[in-house]
A = this chain, B = another copy of it.
Amino acid sequence: MPRKLIRKPAKKIGASPGTLVHTGAKKTEQARIRVIDYSAEKLSEVEIPIAEVGKCCPLRQTDSVSWVNVDGLHEVNVIETLGGCYGLHPLVMEDILSTEQRPKVEAYEDYLFIVMRMLHFDADKNEIKSEQVSLILGPTYVISFQEREGDVFDGVRERIRSGRKRIRASGPDYLAYALLDAVVDSYFHILEKIGDQVELLENELVTDPTPATLQKIHEFKREMILLRKSIWPLREVLSSLHREESALIREATGVFLRDVYDHTIQVVDTVETLRDIIGGQLDLYLSSISNRMNEVMKVLTIMATIFIPLTFVAGIYGMNFEFMPELKWKWSYPVFWLVICLMGGAMVVFFKKKKWL
């Protein structure tokens, strides 16, 4: 049981809101800031050292689209500096650092704040790991925060670099869409892996169910509970983004947000389907346990019912009474065998009739 179900919240009870403390484990050694600044014509990509985070601030004013990506949240002053020069609300900064947030979208005066969860599935342990991704979408910039470096956003970077694609000609809202889409797409891969495992489990269940199968079903059920907790709220997030009448989201991007919203609903549907299937597997397991018990009991009953009366008969003629006429009769022994065989045979017929044999 390596994970805790419920994590401590960031701040002391009653502490002032906006107190910046990073909660959660430090998931990457070295925080990293990567900046891509682009427009249809030009592109500049630089990595900024932690100490010089202030260099990101002037990008707020440029007309080109600026994407500031921060990997690693344990350097609180990075968030503080960026928050300061981009005018982020203290609660936003607190939420970026409290990495157990529920997915949500919040509209502030000149930016949108989006929180999502990125998922990784560890097939060996049947365990899903999750990480918080926060996005700030401003009029000319997107700031993204991840708990550790990942490769989910690499495809988006590639598309920006390649230069001819729609992404270079569109604004920061399209960039934010591309990042959301990359995260939601990654869910499909996780669900595919889980689906494969559940499939294997189904086979195991049909061919040879053991208590270890039960344990696995229980683990999957638990994972689905936690997965659902991450994915359900995302539905609302994308629904409200899609409906949002914000000046920050151009009309052309709306179609794309509807598309990623559809994908999210598909993800939610799939999670529910998996839950139902796992629930059905638990029922099947319990039923097959009952079936096996029944089989075991039948064997016992048949054996005991046939031999206990026979043993009783044998016991009678093992008695040492002096006056037992049968003992002296010459044909007693053959007759004994006849009786025994008839009794046994009658039992077998009885059980055949009951369909136990």
Contact = CB atoms under 8 A, between A and B. Distances in A.
A262 interface: yes
A336 to B, nearest CB: 7
Q: How many copies does the complex hold?
A: 5
24 contacts: A5-B199, A5-B273, A6-B194, A8-B189, A9-B188, A11-B185, A13-B155, A13-B182, A13-B189, A16-B159, A16-B166, A214-B291, A225-B280, A289-B294, A292-B294, A308-B311, A314-B319, A315-B315, A320-B320, A320-B327, A321-B333, A321-B336, A323-B331, A323-B332
Contacts of A326: 321
Give the secondary structure class of A's interface. Answer: helix
A65 to B, nearest CB: 16
B152 A296 contact: no
A242 to B, nearest CB: 12
Interface of A: 1, 4-9, 11-18, 89, 91, 95, 100-102, 104, 106, 108, 152-156, 158-159, 165-167, 178, 181-182, 185-186, 188-189, 191-192, 194-196, 198-199, 202-203, 206, 208, 211, 214-215, 218, 221-222, 225-226, 229, 233, 255-256, 258-259, 262-263, 265-266, 269-270, 273-274, 276-277, 280, 282-294, 296-301, 303-305, 307-312, 314-328, 330-333, 336, 355-356
B287 A285 contact: yes
Nearest to A314: B315
Q: Which 7 A-B pairs have CB atoms at the shortest separation, nearest pair first? A: A14-B155, A6-B195, A314-B315, A317-B319, A5-B195, A300-B301, A318-B318
Nearest to A155: B14
A308 B328 CA distance: 27
A185 B13 contact: yes
Contacts of A203: 1
A225 B300 contact: no
B297 A300 contact: yes
Contacts of A185: 9, 11, 13-14
Nearest to A208: B355
B214 A288 contact: yes
B293 A290 contact: yes
A242 B32 CA distance: 37
A327 B131 CA distance: 78
B307 A308 contact: yes
A42 to B, nearest CB: 20
Nearest to A351: B299
Contacts of A15: 155, 159
A17 B314 CA distance: 82
Contacts of A167: 16
A154 B15 CA distance: 10
Contacts of A155: 12-15
Contacts of A333: 319, 321, 323-325
A18 B165 CA distance: 11
Contact of A277 (B9, B102, B156, B225): B225
Contacts of A318: 314-315, 318-320
